[in-house]
Amino acid sequence: MKVTICQLPDRPDDFERAWAALCSHASGSDVVVLPELPFHPWIAWTKDYDAGTWNDAVASHEKWISRLSELGAGSVAGSSPVNVVQGARHNRAFVWEAGTAEFGHDKYYLPEEPGFWEASWYQRGDGMFEAMKLAGHDVGFLLCTEMWFTDRARQYARQGIRLLLTPRVTEATTADKWIAGGRAAAVMSGAFSISSNRSGSNNGVDFGGVGWVIDPDGSVLATTSQEEPFVTVEIDPTEADRAKETYPRYVPE
Checking if the pLDDT of 245 tops 90, the result is yes
At 127 the pLDDT is: 96
Query: What are the structural domain ranges in the chain?
Result: 2-243
**Average of per-residue pLDDT across 145-160:** 97
C-alpha 11/C-alpha 201 separation (Å) is 8
How many other CB atoms are found less than 10 A from the CB of residue 97? 18
Name the percent of the chain lying above pLDDT 90.
98
Residue 87's pLDDT is what? 83
Q: In the predicted model, what is the mean pLDDT of residues 51-75?
A: 98
- The three state secondary structure string of the chain is CEEEEEEEECCHHHHHHHHHHHHHHHCCCCEEECCCCCCCCCCCCCCCCCHHHHHHHHHHHHHHHCCHHHHCCCEEEEEEEEECHHHCEEEEEEEEECCEEEEEEECCCCCEECCEEHHHHCCCCCCCCCCEEECCEEEEECCHHHHHCCHHHHHHHHCCCCEEEEEECCEHHHHHHHHHHHHHHHHHHCCEEEEEEEEEEECCEEEECCCEEECCCCCEEEECCCCCCEEEEECCCCHHHHHCCCCCCCCCC
- Whole-structure pTM over 0.95, yes or no? yes
Per-residue pLDDT, 43: 98
CA triplet 62, 63, 65: central angle to 5 degrees?
65
Q: What is the mean pLDDT of the chain?
A: 97
- What pLDDT shows up at residue 57? 98
Average pLDDT over residues 191-207: 97
Single-letter amino acid code for the residue at 152: R
pLDDT digits (tens, 9 = 90+) for 116-143: 999 999 999 999 999 999 999 999 999 9
Q: Is the pLDDT of residue 253 over 90?
A: no
The per-residue pLDDT for 41 is 98
pLDDT digits (tens, 9 = 90+) for 71-102: 999 999 999 999 998 889 999 999 999 999 99
Looking at residue 34, what is its pLDDT?
Answer: 98
Comparing CA positions, the residue from 229, 217, 250 lying closest to residue 18 is 229
CATH number of 2-243: 3.60.110.10
pLDDT at 52: 97
What pLDDT is stored for residue 25 in this prediction? 98
pLDDT for the residue numbered 191: 98
Span 61-67, mean pLDDT? 98
* Residue 181 pLDDT greater than 90, yes or no: yes
Q: How far is CA 122 from CA 48, 89, 91, 100, 129, in A?
A: 12, 5, 7, 24, 18
Higher pLDDT, 94 or 253: 94
